[in-house]
A and B are shown apart, each in its own frame.
Chain A
Amino acid sequence: MVSEQASPRSRHFASAGIWVLAALIVGYALVFGGYIATIVAFALIYGVFVSGLNIFMGLTAQVSFGQSAFAAIGGYTSAVLTTTYEWAPLPGMLAGIVFALLFALVIGFPTLRLKGHYLAMATLAIGLITYEIAVEWESVTQGYMGISGIPPLGIGPFEAISDRQILATLSVIVVIVAFAVTRIRKSRLGRAFAAVAGSEEAAGALGINVARYKLTSFLLAAGLASIAGSLFVHVVGYVSPEVFGMHMVVLAFTMVYIGGLGTVAGPVIGALIVSLLPELFRGMRDSQDLAYGITLILILIYAPKGLAGLAQSFDARRGK
């Protein structure tokens, strides 16, 4: 390959630009604070959620419309443990991850045997069942009322209360997640994911345990979704079933496709852009979902690789 001979710096020029853009947005919010900081904080939480989705869909080429289920498990575990049982946020979040992983393990075994439409529908059903349970299991979740008075994020004496503290904490988490995804992608695990993504039959023939790697990928995605759910309830201080409805799924898919499926930067920049876009059209509160839907269709048709994908192909062409 000719592009291999170009220096690494020029090869990744546009891709690095994506990260710079993300850093600029977060930096702007950090400096100016206020309303924009809240928006960017949500975007970063979604960045974590979408990064998980991206591991499962982008790296492993599976499909799940039910990741909101794991965010709900994480969110509600954190909410219940920190309010009713007065746990600290961090152990609550860890408990959420454990529950989410256990659920993913139990549900993953039968679900991941499915392919195509069946996998899509089964995962969608799992997301919807979780939503229904969050609504109906009132003794724990308080139904539509939701749980309020959830304490802010914090470890020991340090609590992230101000916009800037929250933003800084979330930025650190997103950077850690992005770094972890980068490492996973380059590791043995990531190569196995890529093999499964390429062809399950071929991967199996090469001695890759397809079922196990699919499950691993699913667990990683579920864990990140659970973390995102926990972060959400601590940042907002309130949780209700609506948070984890179909809206969350569609939003996450729009983000991952705008950013670029299968890239590390894609989920983060996608989350930032999709969260900020409606702020440009303030007046259209009612038509936000409409805008997301139309944008998603257009992206799927005309730019299925997303921004980070475009940057990559730009770099590849420059390298030649």
Chain B
Amino acid sequence: MDNMHLVLQSLISGISIGCVYGLIGIGFCVIYNASGIVNFAQGAFVMLGGMVTYVLIERFQMPYVVAALGAIVVTGFVGACVERLVVRPLWNRSAPMFVMILATLAAQIVIERLTYILVDDQPKTLPAFSDLPPIMLGGVAINFQSLWIMAGSVLIVVALGLFFKTTRTGKAMRAVSINAEAAALQGIPVSLMLTLAFVLSAMLGALAGILLTPTQYTAFNMGVPFAISGFIAAIIGGFGRPLGAFLGGIALGLIQAMAILGLGAGFKNVAALSLLLLFLFVRPSGLLGSTR
């Protein structure tokens, strides 16, 4: 019976971390849909979310909520910088795809290293959002932060859906993703939408980082693993489908949780990466994608 509880408990933590992977995956989709670019610096945004919040609390004594909002704004600004300083110049020179990938990967390293120099290399964690004991559900202890993560993620996904469906800007971004030239002819500022996509995606990444950091830790070099998990989530969901990416993230979280139970924590990354390869080789259009 205890074993059963352990399994259920790790499945629940798998779902909650999966929600975060999903958010990161959506971040990939937002940029990909707006531009066809896969932004390999996505993980840096997640790292910055937790890291900037930590710094604002510890060094500037800001209250938690203010610090978190500050981190989202700062990360959004970094997103705009990545777009303006790295992606835009290459975009204007119509650089080949892998040059773009390489440049965003280099941007990831620049952000990582700047964080290392400006802060330090120690792992950081944030306090849980609410100081409450775990909820017991028939012997299964549910961490309160896991609930925050799940509720927060669902809320963010719904808000994002509403943004794309109802607001003028959201609709304009969707128009650009469907056909950039036609959108330009309608008077939509396509280039501005690309910047906006990076800002939005960076803020999403920051949110994911803020939700995640209290349960784990963050460090300057945590970006790449986060980005890879998010990318796997996006692939499972069929690249470019935000909702698919979210569900893909949950699937990945569950599989990782089972891998940790079965094989030990050391192999969770190998399990996730193998899942990525499996999907790329067998079904690159994802679970929800059509077999094009």
Residues of A within 8 A of B267 (CB): 132, 136
Contact with B along A129-143 (1 / 0, CB 8 A): 100110110000000
Residues of A within 8 A of B273 (CB): 125, 128-129, 132
Contact with B along A111-126 (1 / 0, CB 8 A): 1011011101110111
Query: Which of B38, B98, B224 has its CB near the most chain A CB atoms (within 10 A)?
Result: B98
Residues of B within 8 A of A246 (CB): 224
Q: A293-B110, A294-B110 are in contact. Are A286 and B97 (CB under 8 A)?
A: no
The answer to whether B113 touches A287, judged by C-beta atoms less than 8 angstroms apart, is: yes
A160 to B71, CA, bound (A): 54
Contact with A along B94-120 (1 / 0, CB 8 A): 010111011101110110111011000
The answer to whether A250 touches B113, judged by C-beta atoms less than 8 angstroms apart, is: no
Decide if B266 is an interface residue (CB 8 Å cutoff): yes
A286 to B97, CA, bound (A): 30
Decide if B270 is an interface residue (CB 8 Å cutoff): yes
Decide if B168 is an interface residue (CB 8 Å cutoff): no
Residues of B within 8 A of A42 (CB): none
Q: A125-B273, A132-B270 are in contact. Are A300 and B117 (CB under 8 A)?
A: no
The answer to whether B113 touches A296, judged by C-beta atoms less than 8 angstroms apart, is: no
A43 to B55, CA, bound (A): 38
Residues of B within 8 A of A120 (CB): 38, 98, 101
The answer to whether B106 touches A116, judged by C-beta atoms less than 8 angstroms apart, is: no
Query: Which of A121, A257, A294 has its CB near the most chain B CB atoms (within 10 A)?
Result: A121
Decide if B169 is an interface residue (CB 8 Å cutoff): no
Residues of B within 8 A of A301 (CB): 86, 89-90, 93, 95, 103
Nearest-CB distance from A223 to chain B (Å)? 22
A229 to B159, CA, bound (A): 49
Provide a sorted-by-A list of 17 A–B residue pairs whose CB atoms are within 8 angstroms: A114-B281, A114-B284, A118-B280, A122-B276, A122-B281, A128-B228, A128-B273, A132-B270, A136-B266, A136-B267, A253-B102, A257-B102, A289-B113, A290-B109, A290-B114, A292-B109, A300-B106
Which B residues have a C-beta under 8 Å from some C-beta of A?
A: 38, 85-86, 89-90, 93, 95, 97-99, 101-103, 105-107, 109-110, 112-114, 116-117, 224, 228, 231, 235, 239, 266-267, 269-270, 273-274, 276-277, 280-281, 284
Which A residues have a C-beta under 8 Å from some C-beta of B?
A: 57, 63, 65, 110-111, 113-114, 116-118, 120-122, 124-126, 128-129, 132-133, 135-136, 246, 250, 253, 257, 286-287, 289-290, 292-294, 296-297, 300-301, 304
